[in-house]
Amino acid sequence: MKKNKILYIVVPCYNEEEVLHETAKRLKLKLESLIAENQINKNSKIMFVNDGSKDNTWDIIEDLHKNDKLFTGICLSRNRGHQNALFAGLMTAKKYADIIISMDADLQDDIDAVDKMIIKYYEGNDIVYGVRSARKTDTWFKKTTAEGFYKFMKFMGVDIIYNHADYRLASKKVLEELENYREVNLFLRGMFPLVGFKNDIIYYERKERFAGESKYPLKKMLNFAWDGITSFSIKPIRLVLSVGIIMFIISLLILLYCIVIKILGKAVSGWTFIVCSIWILGAVQMLAIGLIGEYIGKIYSETKQRPRFILSKNLNDE
């Protein structure tokens, strides 16, 4: 593939004044060296997305842009959360760039992996996922909860790449297709695999945040995981139906048991009727809820209006 493509690095920032200068410095060095090696076009840029920060983040971004056109930025009207901020950045960057890489502002994700991602892109991959090979510096709690999250998502039927967060390269083509996914509750790491196209993985070691503190406290992390499951899977609804079916079978067994007790004359008067009613009613209700759930699940998938297919090639166009 012909090199010299325009690269945009998209960085969502929420209250990141403590890290921004250092991040900008390191990313600038990276971009300049890639330009010098003729890997990317000289119009490549670093795009910061200010996600409604309450500190000086936006002032810093404006300053950076004023002094050096290598930096650019967009500002959201208020805090919309990491996924929305990132999506805003990706959708804006794709207008100007051929290759878009997203990464966090704290540079926990090794920026030297960018070189490997770009090589993979020129080898013909439209998406390159950055995967954490080790989390030596993450706390035990962060590591366990994060890795548990990936396993649980898999169990819930969501196709995500193990230990891949939002450090990835995507081509303009991929982002143009991603724009057709109309859902409002974004879970980007589940959406990219849905888009498809040729893709590959590169590994890197996750480091420690060099300044500031995590903008993902436990509450946000749980919300994010919950969003991921409920935006991608109807397995929880299916579970209700399964429980209903199991309860129904149990209730039939209980019915049988009650009849036997009754025939043997061991039942107190009225007992058989009450026990059977409780079980059968419970089972029927559960079944009914599960059935309604099935339809809600269908409605839910329909309302997303996700594309039914995406072509990667059409020989007629060539």
Please select the residue that binds ligand UDP; options are 5, 8, 46, 51, rule is CB under 6 A: 51
For Mg ion, the closer of residues 196 and 212 by Cβ is 212
Return the number of the residue (45 or 215) whose C-beta is nearest Mg ion.
215
What's the closest the beta carbon of residue 19 comes to ligand UDP, in angstroms? 8
With CB under 5 A as the contact rule, which of the stretches 101-109, 157-165, 245-253, 290-298 interacts with Mg ion? 101-109
Residues 107-146 touching ligand UDP, rule: CB under 6 A, are 108
Q: Cβ distance 229 to 236 under 8 Å? A: yes
Q: Total number of residues binding Mg ion (CB under 5 A)?
A: 3
> Is 39 or 108 the residue whose CB approaches ligand UDP more closely?
108
User: Exactly one of 214, 277, 305, 312 binds ligand UDP (CB under 6 A); which one?
Assistant: 214
Residue with smaller CB distance to ligand UDP, 214 or 303: 214
* 82 contact choice in ligand UDP, Mg ion, none (CB below 5 to 8 Å, kind-dependent): ligand UDP
Window contacting Mg ion (CB under 5 A); options: 99-107, 196-204, 232-240, 242-250: 99-107
Q: Given candidates 16, 18, 106, 177, which one binds Mg ion under the rule CB under 5 A?
A: 106
Tell me the backbone φ, ψ of residue 28, rounded to 5 degrees: -60, -45
With beta carbons less than 8 A apart as the criterion, state whether 124 and 34 touch.
no
14 binds ligand UDP (CB under 6 A): yes
Closer by beta carbon to Mg ion, 223 or else 312: 223
Return the range that interacts with ligand UDP (CB under 6 A); candidates 87-95, 196-204, 213-221, 277-285. 213-221
Interface with Mg ion in residues 145-184 (CB under 5 A): none
Q: What is the 3-state secondary structure (H, E, C) of the chain?
A: CCCCECEEEEEEECCCHHHHHHHHHHHHHHHHHHHHCCCECCCCEEEEEECCCCCCHHHHHHHHHHHCCCEEEEECCCCCCHHHHHHHHHHHHCCCCCEEEECCCCCCECCCHHHHHHHHHHCCCCEEEEEEEECCCCCHHHHHHHHHHHHHHHHCCCCCCCCEEEEEEEEHHHHHHHCCCCCCCCCHHHHHHHHCCCEEEEEEEECCCCCCCCCCCHHHHHHHHHHHHHHHCCHHHHHHHHHHHHHHHHHHHHHHHHHHHHHCCCCCCCHHHHHHHHHHHHHHHHHHHHHHHHHHHHHHHHHHCCCCCCCCCCHHHC
Q: Which one among 18, 106, 126, 177 touches ligand UDP, defined by CB under 6 A?
A: 106
Check binding of 215 to ligand UDP (CB under 6 A): yes
- Kindly list the residues in this chain that would bind Mg ion in the complex (CB under 5 A): 104, 106, 108
Q: Which residues contact ligand UDP (rule: CB under 6 A)?
A: 12-14, 16, 51, 79, 81-82, 85, 104-106, 108, 214-216
